[in-house]
Chain A
Amino acid sequence: MSNLNHEQLELALSRELVGALSELSDWGRSCPRPELLQAALAGVFQEDEMWEIKRHLSRCGFCNSLVIDLEQLDDDDLHDISLLRVRSRIDAGLATQ
């Protein structure tokens, strides 16, 4: 499959769906970044810091489904490449100690 075909298909679909997609981007203007959503749920922030994020999650189906999907995708992913990089950094660090 060529990149050109990908681009043509996405462009054609985007044109047909311009109404629906513009609604999505309009909606997204009030959404916190995905990293903030995940960090809030991971308990990184103080209660007062994450109150608005939790409030947003309770009202936004897009963000709510996103954090659930990201959690599942991260669990499914074996992280092999990431863990190889982590191990090589550790080995490099240990070599200097």
Chain B
Amino acid sequence: MIDFDAIYREQATAVFRYALRTVGNRALAEDITSEAFLELYRNLGSMEAQRLPAWLFTVVKNRAVDHWRKNAVELRYAQELRAPEVAPDAGRDVEAWLLGEPSLKPIHRACLVLHFVHGMTRAEIGKRLAISEVRVKGHLQYALQLLRKAWGCKDTGGLHVEPQSRTVGTCALEGIGGSPE
């Protein structure tokens, strides 16, 4: 006999993580995860233990496929995307800085890219990353200060990345923002 609560304790985190990746939306991932476990509960009587946890992940994937089918317009848009054959050189400078700046952590890079490349608001980023809007602001400011420091050197030989440097640039408002966490 399958112990529903034990399966939940063992698999809930992994199933939720997978759901989050398949839909990229925390609220929807919560819905899909709870639906998958309720579906399991309804099928407990006929479920073979060896089919778990794969069965749960399949349910999540199928729900995600349904979600994206309902959002077919976005899919078509993605299919019609044509990445530029040659990206603008200036964009490549910032891209190289972003990938090479050792003081940027994943949270800083993610906030910067979600806000300035993908145009997400700070509230949307906070919701996606499960952090407060104030923390999003702090991470953005830290990243911007590093970019400012590098960008200031652009006219004197390209964007500048200082290995191991964790010092933010000096500015009139230094000290109020930026969190290197």
Q: Contacting B134 at CB < 8 Å: which of A3, A53, A66, A73?
A: A3
CA distance A38 to B23 in the complex (A): 7
| A94 engages B38 (CB within 8 Å) | yes
If A35-B24, A36-B78 touch, whether A86 touches B130 (CB-CB below 8 Å) is no
Contacts of A97 in B (CB 8 A): 38, 41-42
Tally of A-B residue pairs with Cβ under 8 A?
223
B18 touches A42 (CB 8 A): yes
- The answer to whether B117 touches A65, judged by C-beta atoms less than 8 angstroms apart, is no
Q: Is the CB of B87 within 8 A of A9?
A: no
Check if B20 sits within 8 Å of A74, measured CB to CB.
Answer: yes
**Given the known A-B contacts A23-B94, A25-B116, A44-B64, are A75 and B38 also in contact in the complex, defined by CB atoms under 8 Å?**
no
Q: A24 vs B114: C-alpha distance in the bound complex, in angstroms?
A: 10
Measured CA separation A97–B77 after assembly (Å) = 41
Query: Does B54 make an interface contact (CB < 8 A)?
Result: no
State the interface size on chain A (CB cutoff 8 A): 74
Determine whether the beta carbon of B114 is less than 8 Å from that of A34: yes
**What separation, in Å, do the CA atoms of A81 and B132 have in the docked complex?**
13
- How many angstroms between the C-alpha atoms of A57 and B175 in the bound complex? 36
Residue among B65, B95, B96 with the highest chain A CB neighbour number at 10 A: B95
User: Which B residues from 109 to 129 make CB contacts under 8 A with A?
Assistant: 109-110, 113-114, 116-120, 128-129
| CA gap between A12 and B176 in the complex, in Å | 12
Q: Which of A21-61 contact B (CB under 8 A)?
A: 21, 23-28, 30-45, 48-53, 55-56, 59-61
A61-B99, A82-B130 known; A30-B106 Cβ under 8 A:
no
Q: Are B95's CB and A90's CB within 8 A?
A: no
User: A30-B82, A42-B64, A81-B130 known; A36 and B110 CB under 8 Å?
Assistant: no
Is B17 in contact with A33, judged by CB distance below 8 angstroms? no
B59 within 8 Å of A (CB atoms): no
B3 at the interface (CB under 8 A from A): no
A28, B118: Cβ atoms under 8 Å?
Answer: yes
Contact yes or no, A79 B17, CB < 8 A: yes
Complex CA distance for A36 and B172, rounded to whole angstroms: 40
Give the top 8 A-B pairs by smallest Cβ distance, nearest first. Answer: A35-B24, A69-B106, A28-B117, A89-B34, A24-B116, A13-B144, A61-B95, A42-B21
Interface residues of A (CB under 8 A from B): 1, 3, 5-6, 8-10, 12-14, 16-17, 19-21, 23-28, 30-45, 48-53, 55-56, 59-63, 65-66, 68-75, 77-79, 81-83, 85-87, 89-90, 93-94, 97
